[in-house]
Chains A and B, each alone.
Chain A
């Protein structure tokens, strides 16, 4: 297939006209998922070379794919955006046709599930996951092996595996990339998890805002059932697992696991206090394992490589914001932020400099430019007052007012609060009012201290993770960019 042309038709390149190019093609073209540097899209691969089919805005639109290819610009495989990646989760993304199970099978899909079923030793799988040190990629970083072992140890014949694909952080699109580009890796990871913990039922809870991911997952699940990789008596074993899609209805809070469970059950998506944890009392009261898309996506690669070769693993990031090259990249865990943002992403646009990098969305915080040498791992980012999060990485240049940014995230949390507990429902409203007051230069030093104090109350007193972390963007910008706040105080207040 080396002579074959691969064209990315995932969401980003689609929005840049990839489908129009596909329609005009007279050549055989293989549709694939994300190829990485989305800002250069539409992207294609010809004879192993990554090509940007992008045209300057001033140029007339290329009438055909052939013409676009003739004027395309090659992106060298030595380019740091490509070279510094370690693609484990996304190994087949951009390579396989996500709509074709034969293609996925030819490139090794479901081989780890086959091996796991042949070995017939669920606890060995859990032990491998535990030894690898894999932590949840959804943001909180809970040890995956421990979670699996807990669910496996629960009594009862019926258990459930849930994939949290409700990726809702502004600036995060890593999970969408995997679901659109290589859905079979996710299904394989989920099936292996179900086998390991003894579950027969799986749900993928995917947000409705991802129509292409939903379509490709539907196709993939149906194909896997036909080919006997999902369903009853998988590959002649006694193992059964059915995977169903559940499509969200637009509530960000449904990414919180207890709200997600309620939503799967057909109830109002509001969180409840834990314990009981989902491992004990989850979907329809059954022991439930909930992992995020990328966590499941790691499983086939981990089992294929083994714990030693897998090493510290990788993290997929969606790099966006004030950066020259944005897109999806997968880097070894512990890569310095500077490498990702400056070397791979090319740094700030011409004439500007980087002010901060926001990670973890509305639950996260900012890393100031002075701390860009921080390695990206769970504990280093936590020490800086932010979180790894699910992988959204928004670069902010020196034109950004950090108070404005904090107000954006608080407005987001206010809009997405479910309304169950008072600190989040009413506290986020008051926090946004205080931030707007400051932004309108009507604020006093007393308002600033009230802002800080209310942040702590909302963080301490809220019921679920959404409310508890909602003030983080404010606290983080107050910590690293207090001067942005002080500049907004009424003139008479400065220096008091």
Chain B
């Protein structure tokens, strides 16, 4: 296995060839915030929180902003993960997320266990500099066990990917475009009417916010379980089924 050496925040890091910058940073205990990324699912580079400044890639000296989740580490790269520019982008992205939905933490099932909330704390977003838009969105409670509250959805597409890539049911997809995008079940039917759904709950387990939830949960009671997905993916890829 060949290895490449790069610098992350002035620290020398050696990783196997093919490692992404995100993995390399995490191996070096350098945290990079992520939202759409989830280990075990394909990376889509959509949330832009994991942008890092990269110099020395392809011989280029001017810094480039690249998504760490999809950028492969290369020999001689010099990576910065927390410059003021990046910090400002992260805060703005979180503000844009809060203003485009209706995120009311106090009454949310995920309060206290929400990745969006945690990120807001991490990037120092104590208020939004941009106006809230208060969109009109609906709630789908047609499924027997689960609910989908579009007000809390940040369109990270983890549910779409886990259902397609791991469960193989492809119940979820993204409908419409731009600001009108929303997660749809089936061909835009109520979730409960979609026969393809296996009721496995993987989408609820990986949802970073309170958008997908168990109907039995009330405020602060929802806990996500991405580790269940990761255990399953590991078991499948390594053929190790014993617990």
Contact = CB atoms under 8 A, between A and B. Distances in A.
A425 B176 CA distance: 12
A429 interface: yes
B243 interface: no
Interface in B77-122: 85, 88-89, 92-93, 96-97, 99-100
Tier of interface size on chain A: 20 to 34
A415 B177 CA distance: 8
A81 to B, nearest CB: 39
Interface in B129-165: 129-131, 133, 154-155
A459 to B, nearest CB: 10
A7 to B, nearest CB: 40
Interface stretch (B45-53, B212-220, B221-229): B45-53
Interface stretch (A31-39, A130-138, A391-399, A460-468): A460-468
B93 A423 contact: yes
A479 interface: no
Contacts of A425: 100, 155, 178-179, 181
Contacts of B100: 425-426, 429
Given A273-B70, A429-B100, A429-B133, A416 B48 contact: no
A450 B46 contact: no
Contacts of B176: 419
A461 B89 contact: yes
B75 to A, nearest CB: 16
A280 to B, nearest CB: 13
Nearest to A429: B179
A268 B88 CA distance: 31
Given A419-B179, A460-B89, A426 B174 contact: no
Nearest to B181: A419
Contacts of A462: 48
B180 interface: yes
Contacts, number: 92
User: Interface centre among B46, B154, B173, by most A CB within 10 Å?
Assistant: B46
A415 B47 CA distance: 19
A418 B177 contact: yes
A419 B100 CA distance: 12
B54 interface: no
A270 to B, nearest CB: 8
B165 to A, nearest CB: 15
User: Interface centre among A418, A420, A422, by most B CB within 10 Å?
Assistant: A422
Interface string A389-424: 000000000000000000000000011111111110
B44 A420 contact: yes
A416 B178 CA distance: 7
A272 interface: yes
A427 B177 contact: no
Given A430-B96, A454-B92, A461-B89, A422 B180 contact: no
A426 B97 contact: yes
A457 interface: yes
A426 B181 CA distance: 11
B67 interface: yes
Contacts of B174: 268, 270, 419-420
Contacts of A272: 44-45
B67 A273 contact: yes
User: Interface centre among B92, B130, B154, B181, by most A CB within 10 Å?
Assistant: B92
Given A427-B96, A429-B100, A417 B65 contact: no
Given A272-B44, A420-B174, 8 more contacts: A268-B173, A419-B176, A419-B178, A421-B46, A422-B47, A425-B179, A426-B99, A457-B89
Interface of B: 44-48, 51, 65, 67, 70, 85, 88-89, 92-93, 96-97, 99-100, 129-131, 133, 154-155, 173-174, 176-181
28 contacts: A253-B177, A268-B173, A414-B179, A416-B178, A417-B179, A418-B177, A419-B176, A419-B178, A420-B44, A421-B46, A421-B47, A422-B48, A422-B93, A423-B48, A425-B100, A425-B179, A426-B100, A427-B96, A429-B133, A430-B96, A430-B99, A450-B130, A457-B88, A457-B89, A457-B93, A460-B65, A461-B92, A463-B46
